[in-house]
Structure 1
Amino acid sequence: MSIQKHTIVWEGIEIELTYDPAAWGGVIAHLEVRSINPDCAPLPITETGYLSHYHPCGTVEENKGTLAEQVTGWLDKEAKSKTWKMYLEDCRQLRLF
């Protein structure tokens, strides 16, 4: 299986997905999520705008939806967390300290 690259836009942030369904000779699958516009923009799944995620081979393929749909669903779910909501609120407020 070959490495897949996808670009999605979530909440106005352009995100690049790089997925290797059989990394290291098929031992494990690897997904990289990287915000590219704006560069390094925080996401609900990573404060730095970059996430390297290893998981068992076949996990993405066994779930419903495309890779892009699954990652979008993951972002949507994590965007409901208290941590992400607090981050957004902090961004809206001017902080002096």
Structure 2
Amino acid sequence: MEQQSHTYRLTWHGITIRVVHTPRRWSAIENLEIRSIAPAGAPLPITATGYRSHFIPIGTVDVHGGDVVAQLDEEATKPDWRAHIEASRQGELF
């Protein structure tokens, strides 16, 4: 039985993000859909396109909290994201 999805909005570093959590999909998996909506398609540390559908074992969000902001903050410390931020500040000629 598929459980009803819950939709949340949050703001992270000036980006509005919509998170849709489906606790049980296809009676087999839990799903988090994360999408940047303002600005639309803005890159996030977990996705260059501003969209990510993340499948996890059922109950993972209940056990670990599903804190999307903490995940974004953690990923934002990695070299790839820091390089993206630096390039965004400087602008790119080519």
TM-score range, shorter chain: over 0.9
Greater helix proportion: 1
Aligned partners of 1:10, 1:39: CA distance in 2, in Å?
A: 13
SS in 2 for 1:73: helix
Matched residues, number: 92
Two-structure CA RMSD over aligned residues (Å): 0.9
SS in 1 for 2:33: strand
TM-score (norm 2): 0.94
Deviation sequence 1:16-48 (CA, Å, 0-9, x none): 000101001x21001100000000000000000
SS in 2 for 1:80: coil
Percent identical across equivalent pairs? 42
TM-score (norm 1): 0.91
Deviation at 1:2, TM superposition (A): 1.6
- 1:72 matched to 2:69? The reply is yes
Deviation at 1:94, TM superposition (A): 2.5
Aligned partners of 2:6, 2:83: CA distance in 1, in Å?
A: 33
Counterpart of 1:89 in structure 2 is: 86
Gaps (5+ residues) in structure 2? none
